[in-house]
Structure 1
Amino acid sequence: MTAAPLTLIRRITPLAVIFTGMMIVVGCSDGTGLPKRYPVSGNVTYNGQPVETGTITFAPVDPDSRAASGTISGGSYYLTTAIDGDGALPGEYRVSITSRDVNYDAAMSGVQGGSPKQDDVAKAFAEAKDLVPAKYSLPDTSGLTYTVESGSNRNVDFDLTD
C-alpha cells in the first residue's frame, strides 16, 4: 500500500471511532436529559383484595431527585418518571397511594357534547369516597417506603390495611 492511502486511513480511523461512540451514546439516550431509570412494578392490595383503580407515587427522599408515579389498574401498577413506563431513578422513596370513588356522572349531568364545568368536577372530587384509608394518600403519613435499585424492581407489592 502506498503512503497516501495509509495516511488517509490513519486520519479517518480516529474520527470513525469517535463518531461510532457518539452514535452509541445518542442512540441510548431518551432525550429527557435524566439519568438511567429502572423498571418498577408490582401489586397493591387493601385488606387482601386488589385495589382496582388509583394512583401510586414514589416521592424521593433526596430533594435533588425526581418523583415517579403510576396508575393502579386491577391491582397492578408500573412507574413512570418522564416517559411512559420508564421506571424510577435509583434511590430511596416514600410511597403514597390513593384510590377514590369519584362520581363522574354527577359532574357530567347537564353536559351535552362538551366538557363538564370545572366547579362540577371539583365538587365530584370533594365528595368522592376514599377506597383506601386516607393516611396512605400522603408520603409523610403512609409509612410506605421503597429503595429503587439499579436493575429490575419487579414485585414491589404494597398490602394496605386499616
Structure 2
Amino acid sequence: MNAPTKMAANAICLSLLSLLLIGCNSKPPIPKSYPVQGEVTLDGKPMATGEVVFVSVKDGIRDTVKVTDGKFSGEVLAGDRKVEVRSYVPVAANTNMYGPNEEQSMKNIIPKKFNEETTLTATVEESDKNDFQFEVTST
C-alpha cells in the first residue's frame, strides 16, 4: 500500500472511530419547558404565598412554580398535568424538657383535595400562551 492510500485509510478509520465515540456518548435530549402563568385564589382572595406543582400524568415529573400575591409564572414541561396547590404557614415551636425547640416547622393549609388527592388539571401547550386560574378553599 503506498503512502497516500495508507493515509486515506487511516483518515477514514479515524473518522469512523470518532463518529462511533460521539454516538456512544450522546445523552437523551433534555425536554423543552414552556412558560406558564396565572392566578391562584384561596377562599376567593389571592393566595398570599405558596406553590403550584404541575405533575405529568404520563410519567410523574413534577415542576414547581412559586406563588406570590396570588400570581405565578415559570416554565414547565408540556402535556397533560395534574395540578397541586400548597400554601405553608409556620407552626409554633415545640417545647421539650430541654427548652424550646429551635427548629420551626411549616404546615400546608390547603386541603388534600387540592394537592395529594387533587382533581385539578391543566394541559400545558407547546407555546407561550399557557394562562391558568386555580380556585382553592381552606375547607
User: Fold-level match, TM-score > 0.5?
Assistant: yes
- Decide which structure has greater strand share: 2
Query: What is the percent sequence identity of the aligned residues?
Result: 29
Question: Over aligned residue pairs, what C-alpha RMSD do you find?
Answer: 2.5
SS at match of 1:156: strand
- Decide which structure has greater helix share: 1
Q: Which structure 2 residues correspond to residues 95-134 of structure 1 after superposition, within 5 A? A: 95-103=83-91, 106=93, 120-121=103-104, 124-125=105-106, 128=107, 130=109, 132-134=110-112
SS at match of 1:135: helix
User: Is the CA contact 1:96–1:136 (under 8 Å) kept in the aligned structure 2?
Assistant: yes
Which structure has the greater CA radius of gyration? 2
TM-score by length of 1: 0.56
2:51 to 55, 64, 68: 55
* Cα distance, 1:150–1:129 mapped onto 2, change above 3 Å: closer
2:61 to 55, 60, 66: 66
| Structure 1 position 136 matched with structure 2 position 114 | yes
User: Is the CA contact 1:60–1:94 (under 8 Å) kept in the aligned structure 2?
Assistant: yes
Q: Which runs of 5+ in 2 are unaligned?
A: 1-28
Question: How many residues matched?
Answer: 106
Q: Which runs of 5+ in 1 are unaligned?
A: 1-32, 80-86, 111-115
2:121 to 145, 149, 153: 145
